[in-house]
Amino acid sequence: MRPLTPTLALLAALLLLASPASAGNDWMPPVRDATVQKECGTCHMAFQPGFLPARSWTHLMGSLADHFGEDASLPDDKIAIIRAYLTANAGDVVNQGRAARYMQWVAPGGTPQRITENPDFLRKHHFADSVWKDPKVVTKSNCAACHSGAERGLYK
C-alpha cells in the first residue's frame, strides 16, 4: 500500500487525539450479517444501519438498479435478507448513542439516502478541498480511508 499523504497522516493524528473515554456511547454497532457484508461491502464498506432510519433502508433496497448512478441489482432473495437486517438494526430502531444523535437530524417521515449529508456528519467533516481530493479518499463516503476502525463501528 502507498504511505499516507501528509494531510491524511495529520487527520489520523487528530483522530487519535480526539478520543476521550466516552467510546461506549459513540460506538456504532457494526454489520454482523454475512450477506450484508458481502453484497453491500464490495464497492464500499458495508455502512452501519444505525446511520439511517428504517424508511431509508427500505427505499434504498427498493431502488438498487439505480443506486447513486450504479446498477447494484441483486436477486430478490438476497434483497429480502438484506432489507430485513438493515431495517431491524436501523437508527430509529437502535435509537441510542451515536445512532440517536444522527436520527435527531432526520425530519419526521424523511428518507435521507446519504449518511454524508446528515448535519451531524457535516459538522465533523469541515475539511479543506485538498483533503477530499486526496487520491486515497476519492469521496466522503470512503470512511475507512480516515477511520481505520470504521468497519468495526469505531469513529473516534
Q: How far apart are CA 45 and CA 93, in angstroms?
A: 21
Phi, psi of 3 (to 5 degrees): -70, 160
Residues 118/51, Cβ–Cβ less than 8 Å: yes
Q: Which of residues 65-84 bind ligand HEC (CB under 6 A)?
A: 67-68, 70, 72, 82
Residues 77/25, Cβ–Cβ less than 8 Å: no
Residues 90/98, Cβ–Cβ less than 8 Å: no
Choose the one of ligand HEC, another protein, none that binds residue 136, judging by a C-beta under 5 to 8 angstroms depending on kind.
Answer: another protein
Grid coordinates representing 47 are: 455502512
Q: Does 11 bind ligand HEC (CB under 6 A)?
A: yes
Q: Which helix (H) or strand (E) holds 146?
A: none
* Coil/strand/helix, residue 70: strand
Q: Which of residues 79-138 bind another protein (CB under 8 A)?
A: 135-138
Among 59, 84, 142, 153, binds ligand HEC (CB under 6 A): 142
Q: Does 45 bind another protein (CB under 8 A)?
A: yes
In the complex, the smallest distance separating the C-beta of residue 71 from another protein, rounded to whole angstroms, is: 7
Compare residues 108 and 124 and give the one whose CB is closer to ligand HEC: 124
Catalog residues that contact ligand HEC under the rule CB under 6 A.
11, 14-15, 18, 26, 39-40, 42-44, 47, 60, 64, 67-68, 70, 72, 82, 98, 114-116, 124-125, 127, 131, 137, 139-143, 145-147, 155-156
